[in-house]
Structure 1
């Protein structure tokens, strides 16, 4: 009897701290790709890896390695056997992680390339931004330096840190609408001529002044025709939206 008790205690002590495989799909160490695919610990920002160890009867301890501000830190927490089984069932109930599935997963993870995406936006460019807890901002993106976006709004200049960005929408190109340019120039010139004619009808100047006003209106119309063409091209070009925060990506993914 004493030998049996000793063997039981010895087995329990040896089992404590032993690494447990949550599922054959992830093994004894859960890496960042497996965590993103199976969503085992979806709320852990900066997740690098995790291991689950036995901590006692019906109790487990998870060690999560995270990267925060360029440094790796370890977070430890405990959970019950019931929670372990829930996570195990959650993983086993999903498809196996393959290279094709991983490539498909990363297609929508723009937050992994947030700095690159914002850097490559043609500037100045009209953008729509969601940041700092779903706050919305519309304006012209003037610059992006030291991971801070400078945005000109109708009333002020706003600075938005990249790490507070959740979503950005903009037009990646102005589209191939050069065939519209002659028509827009003609319409703009006609509008300028028409404005000059309206001015003449109100003032009733001499004949030479009338033609001067018409000519002046046409020139003004042609001057603004370039801006009009840019505006039309921008409006006709499809808009792209990029999710730049992992939390926002997870929220949309679970909807």
Structure 2
């Protein structure tokens, strides 16, 4: 029987081929992405930072990073979408390192556009300088703006990106039942489980829990049976580690 109500997750690790991949704590905001090497890049410090682009006299376009995109003029502003936290910040291709999508902007004249999402914007992010060299270094600038239509704008933004963080085993999940959420989701330790926290504990009367793990199909063959050790003298302490594939 456990004599403590604290659940401590000490370590989660999976060995993929020759690299050691560990879960990491969630970033402090939803302003992050994975690069093409599955390494996390945290842009939380950029969240809300404004970038302004002079389109013509009396009118400009403004990106508030991970917030929204607006076209502003003397008559007001037109909303080209807000940053959607549900997986619309992804690795790019060609000359773009990352891509952000902004949805659910103004509807006027765009009621049927992009599955009835109104005006939308796509921001192609370059880590470094604009191709034409118009801005370099911190904090960066908008290189180019192009309108696919009155309801869709494509933007090229150059910024000085931070160095990528650890490699993430995307698609992996670890949890306990009965609980209503995972300890590790998409390779990242969720809030409250990165350190002992009473709000995420089991009741003393809870004598049995079920461990479950999952992975995306393309990587599931790399995950073998984990090693599980329980240390009841200080509550339920769990240590998980992968086995060499």
Alignment TM-score, normalising by the size of structure 2: 0.22
Which is richer in helix?
1
Alignment TM-score, normalising by the size of structure 1: 0.21
Q: Which structure carries more relative contact order (alpha carbon 8 Å, separation 6+)?
A: 2
Larger radius of gyration: 1
